[in-house]
């Protein structure tokens, strides 16, 4: 079976994206999805995304982790599929679509895609870390000398011992300036560090504000794959009007045989 695919990346977080409006792609074929994402024997990606039709919205986003299993919300993946929908002429400069965690709005220009994330209300602050869900579960922990930190080893240990089989994404953070932070993320499903994580930097920005590590509701996050911006509004019950903004682009397209 020949499958037309497109490769997109958002600050180094890369995805195989497929136009599945005809619903021909075998969603339950975990082995196929895993093979397509494999960097040695496949296309190579942190995840696979299907774009499908929606009865009332512009489209539906289905996200799969690199291991082939259905995943939770992916912020950079969401920004990339918005750019893909523009490429397909489904949308122009704005859109509303559905993902696993509900409806999302987004706007786009030539350089950036700004994606509205879900409201956040349940934040657990512990002595050494913060836990919150921004569409995916995230552990946020401040560390020293982030550049030389063993993210894969330490991230895997926390992911398994603290959060069990379901796991969580583990974010390690270091302050650069007052409202600027460097972030490195170990992602479940990929089971390795990725160059960037959209829901991760969103979680980091909110966690740092919640714990008074920053006083700004506009936070700049530096990942290994590039720069992302997160802004939000604080309310009595949590955080709303949460936006993740950054670049997203098509890298190449091909046919899987």
Question: Do 128 and 236 fall into the same domain?
Answer: yes
For every residue of 210-242, DSSP letters joined together read: HTTS---SEEEEEETTEEEEEEEEE-SSSEEEE
Domain harbouring 80, CATH code: 3.10.310.10
Range of the domain at 79: 3-116+247-256
Question: Do 86 and 177 fall into the same domain?
Answer: no
Average pLDDT over residues 39-47: 98
* pLDDT category of residue 208 using cuts at 50, 70 and 90: very high
Catalytic residue among 37, 74, 80, 160: 74
Question: Do 99 and 129 fall into the same domain?
Answer: no
Question: Do 89 and 141 fall into the same domain?
Answer: no
* pLDDT category of residue 165 using cuts at 50, 70 and 90: confident
Mean pLDDT, the chain, whole residue set: 97
Question: Do 130 and 25 fall into the same domain?
Answer: no
> CA 227 → CA 17, 154, 199, 254, distances in Å?
22, 24, 14, 28
Question: Do 88 and 137 fall into the same domain?
Answer: no
Question: Do 60 and 103 fall into the same domain?
Answer: yes
Report the number of distinct structural domains present in the chain.
2
Question: Do 109 and 26 fall into the same domain?
Answer: yes
* pLDDT category of residue 178 using cuts at 50, 70 and 90: confident
Quick one: which of 15, 29, 47 has its CA closest to 191? Answer: 47
User: CA-to-CA distance for 147 and 231, rounded, in angstroms?
Assistant: 25
Instruction: Judge whether 197 counts as a catalytic residue.
Output: yes
Share of the chain above pLDDT 70, in %: 100
Average pLDDT over residues 89-111: 97
What is the per-residue pLDDT across 62-71, written as a single tens digit (0 to 9) for each?
999 999 999 9
Question: Do 107 and 128 fall into the same domain?
Answer: no
Question: Do 20 and 73 fall into the same domain?
Answer: yes
What would you measure as the largest C-alpha separation in the chain, in angstroms?
Answer: 53
Question: Do 43 and 98 fall into the same domain?
Answer: yes
Catalytic residue among 37, 80, 160, 197: 197
HSE (side-chain half, CA atoms, 13 Å) at 9: 14
CB 112: neighbour CB atoms within 10 A? 17
What is the per-residue pLDDT across 48-60, written as a single tens digit (0 to 9) for each?
999 999 999 999 9
Instruction: Judge whether 74 counts as a catalytic residue.
Output: yes
What is the per-residue pLDDT across 179-189, written as a single tens digit (0 to 9) for each?
999 999 999 99
Question: Do 38 and 129 fall into the same domain?
Answer: no
């Amino acid at each position: 079976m020949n499958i037309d695919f497109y490769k997109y990346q958002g600050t180094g977080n890369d995805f195989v994206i497929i136009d599945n409006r005809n619903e021909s792609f075998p969603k339950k074929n975990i082995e196929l999805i895993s093979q397509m994402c494999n960097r040695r024997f496949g296309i190579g990606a942190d995840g696979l995304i299907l774009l499908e039709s929606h009865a009332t919205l512009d489209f539906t986003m289905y996200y799969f982790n690199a291991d082939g299993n259905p995943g939770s919300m992916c912020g950079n993946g969401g920004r990339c599929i918005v750019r893909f929908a523009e490429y397909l002429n489904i949308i122009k400069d704005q859109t509303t679509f559905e993902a696993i965690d509900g409806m999302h709005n987004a706007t786009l220009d030539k350089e950036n895609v700004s994606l509205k994330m879900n409201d956040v209300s349940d934040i657990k602050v512990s002595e050494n870390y913060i836990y919150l869900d921004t569409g995916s579960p995230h552990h946020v922990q401040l560390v020293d000398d982030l550049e030389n930190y063993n993210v894969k080893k330490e991230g895997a240990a926390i992911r398994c011992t603290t959060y069990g089989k379901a796991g969580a994404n583990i974010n390690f953070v270091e302050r650069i300036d007052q409202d600027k932070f460097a972030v490195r993320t170990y992602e479940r499903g990929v089971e390795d560090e990725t160059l960037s994580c959209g829901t991760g930097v969103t979680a980091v920005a909110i966690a740092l504000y919640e714990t008074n590590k920053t006083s700004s509701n506009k936070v700049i996050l530096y990942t290994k794959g590039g720069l992302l911006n997160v802004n939000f509004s604080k309310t009595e019950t949590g955080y709303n009007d949460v936006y993740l903004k950054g670049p997203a682009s098509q890298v190449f397209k091909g046919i899987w045989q």
